[in-house]
Structure 1
Amino acid sequence: HASELVGSLLKSSRPSGLAQAIMEVGRVNKTLYLLNYIDDEEYRRRILTQLNRGEGRHAVARAICYGQRGEIRKRYREGQEDQLGALGLVTNAVVLWNTLYMQEALSHLRSAGEIPEDEHISRLSPLMYGHINMLGHYTFTLPENILKGELRPLNFNSNNELLP
């Protein structure tokens, strides 16, 4: 691997000429990246969007893993992997649930003649969780229509507006 090669070249107290050249190429690449980042506002926005998505996913995971303040407490690797796997599964279930119902809400709006703007749709995120009961009791007895693959009905307020 390239990282092992670079590591072996840098082991000595005085790097060889090849090691110094590799370090300089790395510095040039880093400088070019930073100059591009400074110069390109659209690129910075794309990076910020990705950072926000990552933070949103972490926020969902923290909300799900509330009992230990979001910390993985198992002392052994397999237990940590089990905890992380379960957390990932539940986080993905939340994202899937939200995605299905966002699609259903958009379909409802379109069928009612309201066409959401693409700009507004692009700001939607399946990483919300305030509407999900993270504590308490759960029932897994499902109505017949849900067992047949249908979705639960959308929530509306008294003005017939969609609720989250």
Structure 2
Amino acid sequence: SDWQMTEEAQRAALAALVHAISRLDTTLHWGEGRTSASDGQRFALPRKVLQQTYSTRFSDFALEFYSFVADNYAPYHSMPIECTDRDSAFVLDGLLYNESDLDLEEHYTDTHGYTEINFAAFAMLGRRFCPRIRGLRKQRLYRLDGERDYGPLAPLVSRADRTIDPQVIAEQWDRMGQFYASLERGHTTASVALKRLVACSAKNRFYRANRDLGRIFKTEFLLGYLSEPQLRARIRRGLLKVDQLHALARDVYYGRRGRIYARELHEQMNSCSCLVLILACVIYWQAKEITRVVRCRGPEDAAIDVGMLEHVSPIEWDNVILYGQYILDRDLIR
């Protein structure tokens, strides 16, 4: 029983691998484990199960694995979700409930991971939310003071529906603090709570307070996104790391033509956890080999600029035998 791959054992093993990746000298060139990104990857699910959802991308039923990757390429969390669910509800789950020792301060997602309430949630939990939003020119900016002259921004914020009432936020502030403290401590799952919050009517004052607080931080983010090329580059790099992880996952998950046949939710969670565990093993091995090569440099390699390592990725698998190695001994064949 000590060798069973239980959920607890898988989470502990992944946390140990993330810690090992973070301790390698080479990974410091890629990041210090302060930022991360997340995105979903869909796998065909041909079996009929209760939580089966249709994917227009596959023109078939599918299941999505939502994965999180730190800036040092450590994949620290992954979970199965339905294709019809928006990724935004699950973003906080990975940050709050992973067992790694990463001190994450900033997180990147694509448009599917974005809601205005997520801006409020991240701010209340002491983190920064940085999504890459499609159709940025259609996004609204908001103001706090209806009487103030905002100069060149005035045409964008002058409409009455662009003014935020801080009184609603002040009225619900204590409830908001209790709500997000309960999420952080795990009294309720963030994805479940945020789904219910987003589904509330606009007349609900608690919902309005969270939405308006999110709009404040969203406006601040959009102005920074438009004026700071470094921020746009960080977001793009973070999401590219997730895309690289998905490419590796697609090649690793080759069994049964890359389809998921598990019927029960715990079996699907097991497939998801085992997959991210294998991905972490491959990344750790590659990063460790890069570290070994750097340490074994001779005098003739002194001119090599080690700083160029930040442009090297450990998510490569040309030297990994994905399909195993089969040795046939003709003498054993009778």
For residue 56 of structure 1, what is the aligned residue in structure 2?
244
Cα 1:37–1:129 shift into 2, 3 Å: same
User: 2:297, 2:220 → 1: CA distance?
Assistant: 46
Give the conservation status (yes or no) of the 8 Å contact 1:65–1:87. Answer: yes
**Rg larger for:** 1
Q: For 1:26-79, what per-residue CA distance to the aligned partner results, in whole angstroms no more than 9, with x for missing partners?
A: 222212111111110011111111111111112111110023454433111121
Give the conservation status (yes or no) of the 8 Å contact 1:109–1:115. Answer: no
For residue 29 of structure 1, what is the aligned residue in structure 2?
217
Cα 1:138–1:92 shift into 2, 3 Å: farther
For residue 15 of structure 1, what is the aligned residue in structure 2?
203
User: 2:280, 2:195 → 1: CA distance?
Assistant: 37
CA RMSD of the aligned region, Å? 2.8
Cα 1:18–1:97 shift into 2, 3 Å: closer
Q: Which runs of 5+ in 2 are unaligned?
A: 1-178, 181-189, 328-334
User: 1:55, 1:128 → 2: CA distance?
Assistant: 12
Please, what TM-score do these two structures have when normalized by structure 1?
0.68
What residue identity is the alignment partner of 2:241? R
What residue identity is the alignment partner of 2:200? K
Aligned pairs (5 A) from 1:21-100: 21-100=209-288
**Which is helix-richer, 1 or 2?**
1
Shift of residue 111, structure 1, vs aligned partner: 4.9
Please, what TM-score do these two structures have when normalized by structure 2?
0.36
Q: Which runs of 5+ in 1 are unaligned?
A: 140-164
**Which is strand-richer, 1 or 2?**
2
Q: How many residues align?
A: 138
Cα 1:9–1:123 shift into 2, 3 Å: closer
For residue 127 of structure 1, what is the aligned residue in structure 2?
315
Give the conservation status (yes or no) of the 8 Å contact 1:6–1:19. Answer: no
Cα 1:11–1:42 shift into 2, 3 Å: closer
Give the conservation status (yes or no) of the 8 Å contact 1:74–1:80. Answer: yes
User: 2:248, 2:194 → 1: CA distance?
Assistant: 39
Q: Secondary structure at the match of 1:109?
A: coil
For residue 108 of structure 1, what is the aligned residue in structure 2?
296
Give the conservation status (yes or no) of the 8 Å contact 1:60–1:91. Answer: yes
What residue identity is the alignment partner of 2:272? L
Work out which structure has the larger RCO, using CA pairs closer than 8 Å and 6 or more positions apart in sequence.
2
For residue 133 of structure 2, what is the aligned residue in structure 1?
none
What residue identity is the alignment partner of 2:247? A
Q: What is the aligned-residue identity percentage? A: 24
For residue 159 of structure 1, what is the aligned residue in structure 2?
none
Which has the larger displacement, 35-44 or 82-91? 82-91
